[in-house]
Amino acid sequence: MAGGAREVLTLQLGHFAGFVGAHWWNQQDAALCRPTDAKEPPGELCPDVLYRTGRTLHGQETYTPRLILMDLKGSLSSLKQEGGLYRDKQLDAAIAWQGKLTTHKEELHPKNPYLQDLLSAEGVLSSDGTWRVKSIPNGKGLPPFTNGRTPKPVMPTEGSIRVWSDFLRVHLHPRSICMIHKYNHDGEAGRLEAFGQGESILKEPKYLEELEDRLHFYVEECDYLQGFQILCDLHDGFSGLGAKAAELLQDEYSGRGIITWGLLPGPYRLGELQKNIYRLLNTAFGLVHLSAHSSLVCPLSLGGSLGLRPEPPVSFPLLQYDAALPFHCGAILATALDTVTVPYRLRSSPVSMVHLADMLNFSGKKVVTAGATIPFPLVPSQSLPDALMQLGEATPWTPLSACGDPSGTCCFAQSVVLRGLDRARHTSQLTPGTPLPSPLHACTTGEEVLAQYLQQQQPRVRSSSHLLLTPCKVVPPYPSLFSSSLSRHGSVLDGLPTGTAVESIPVLGALCSSSSLNRALGDLAKDLSKLDLRRWASFMDAGVEQDDLEETLQELRSLAQCYESGGGRLVD
């Protein structure tokens, strides 16, 4: 199956998780379609960790994400629940009933223009039901459409993106999509709003059996399953569904890694009081319960705060994005995710999910923060030591876990990945005899440069680092967020902007066990303790008791205490 790969099964739970996940899978797909003249050597990342090979009913070989996603009725738009690769023989079978038939046909959603263009570029569904898809990568087949006659895909506009499936360019296996029909994606009624509602979904035999069936299907075909990564909405009822799913995985697959990415959309509006209170409650319950059943939990958000006090969204010097658009926020978070997950996706000397979690979550610290520099700033004349020295002593990445400014906080452990730099730029290019501007310029490998820089920034901190040549792909449908001063491959130009579309970028990403969580989780607990729950009886009616709230509050305070300063290095 996977040729010795350490497989990971992805669970994608919720609609914002769908936006992040769609960008994530599009970036994986773009990496599979590496052109033949690419400078970077293939094979640093092993796609078999995330993908599986299969075969359609007509014998066509496929390569699809090892994925189970759950979303609400009305969230798929024109995407079929069974996907587009495999054709169900039952739909083609002759109807034996000879009596009167009444057909009820739901009106189809029009396909997004971007996806129409994509399908026409990829091929067609032939009369025998065979879909002509890309061949298996890494020597198992040549990628199609690499010549100049390939139609250039339409760039999706923000106005054309209504749901995540409007820009997903990856074909899914029929067992990937699990729809929750008892709640609606659109409208004000029948929404999945509360943690208890999400928990109750997997207490129903119908949904529990469906999830277990899909888990068994994917797990049983794995040669070496290293674990599960869960992309889960934290702000709504999917936090409860994610907690229940993590509990199931912990019970069924003991010893496997479970890394949960708790996703929160952009800034919220003060006028939406009930939505904000529910967001606070769901986030608190979600973090506590997910940390109890996961190896590692990391909140991911472009917002500035987990609590009720609104904070402005984070900014990136070389990006211009609209924090109110899930299409934009999902792209940035997917780029960070694609970088910080590198250790357990490496082809050579990978760090397993369990070992990564063990390195970061000692002393009960199972919640970590994420940060990224998107893109990593490097002008054509600079080497890596030059660029790192230019960053100074400040934290070199933008925080992405809604825990506020990391200045003045302590770091206990960190995993850092820098990707997308040519090997020739890894070390100093100064002529012999030139005085060295810093100790970094004396290093003989890029790995040594990065490790020594992190040691200078965070002495006495448990640290792991990886340096990759492979950049992060940002081709359409990735939104056009980049500064006009960037080149095609993400370098900062010295001269005038060229107007060239950015196709790949270098990225610096990090996971940190940080004392900023002491403040963030503590503030979350304070906001929670101030609530008069008699005003929000509907949240409690969804299946949460008063005792549950008190227990969650105590667990949140205990979790915050794990991150009190002491033993870490102060971040400037």
pLDDT on residue 534: 76
Same domain flag for 379 and 418: yes
Residue type for position 480: S
The total of structural domains in the chain comes to: 3
Same domain flag for 506 and 539: no
The residue from 336, 361, 386 where one domain ends is 361
pLDDT on residue 84: 58
Per-residue confidence at 274, pLDDT binned at 50, 70, 90? confident
Q: What is the mean pLDDT of residues 351-358?
A: 96
For residue 261, which of 211, 302, 297 has the smallest C-alpha distance?
297
How far is 255 from 354, CA to CA, in rounded Å?
8
3 state SS for 192-204:
CCCHHHHHHHCCC
pLDDT on residue 94: 38
Residue type for position 527: D
pLDDT on residue 100: 57
pLDDT on residue 264: 96
Same domain flag for 25 and 169: yes
Q: What is the mean pLDDT of residues 446-451?
A: 97
226 touches 8 (CB < 8 A): yes
pLDDT on residue 500: 83
**Residue 209: CATH number of its domain:** 3.40.50.1440
Cis preceding linkage at 375, omega within 30: yes
Q: What is the mean pLDDT of residues 70-95?
A: 63
pLDDT on residue 420: 96
Same domain flag for 355 and 394: no
Instruction: Kindly state whether residue 148 falls inside one of the protein's structural domains.
Output: no
The residue from 361, 394, 412 where one domain ends is 361
For residue 32, give both structure tokens.
Answer: 């599979």
pLDDT on residue 114: 55
| DSSP tag of 393 | T
398 touches 321 (CB < 8 A): no
Query: Is the pLDDT confidence value at 131 over 50?
Result: no
Instruction: Kindly state whether residue 325 falls inside one of the protein's structural domains.
Output: yes
Query: Is the pLDDT confidence value at 316 over 90?
Result: yes
pLDDT on residue 3: 47
Q: What is the mean pLDDT of residues 71-81?
A: 78
Query: Is the pLDDT confidence value at 451 over 50?
Result: yes
For residue 228, give both structure tokens.
Answer: 């599960």
70-84, 136-150, 268-282, 466-480: range with lowest mean pLDDT: 136-150
Per-residue confidence at 272, pLDDT binned at 50, 70, 90? confident
For residue 395, which of 382, 408, 412 has the smallest C-alpha distance?
408
Per-residue confidence at 5, pLDDT binned at 50, 70, 90? confident
Mean pLDDT of the chain: 85
How far is 116 from 153, CA to CA, in rounded Å?
9
The whole domain housing 545 covers 519-562
Query: Is the pLDDT confidence value at 484 over 50?
Result: yes
**CA atoms within 13 Å, Cβ hemisphere of 294:** 34
**Which residues lie below 8 Å from residue 94, measured CB to CB, with a gap of 6+?**
none
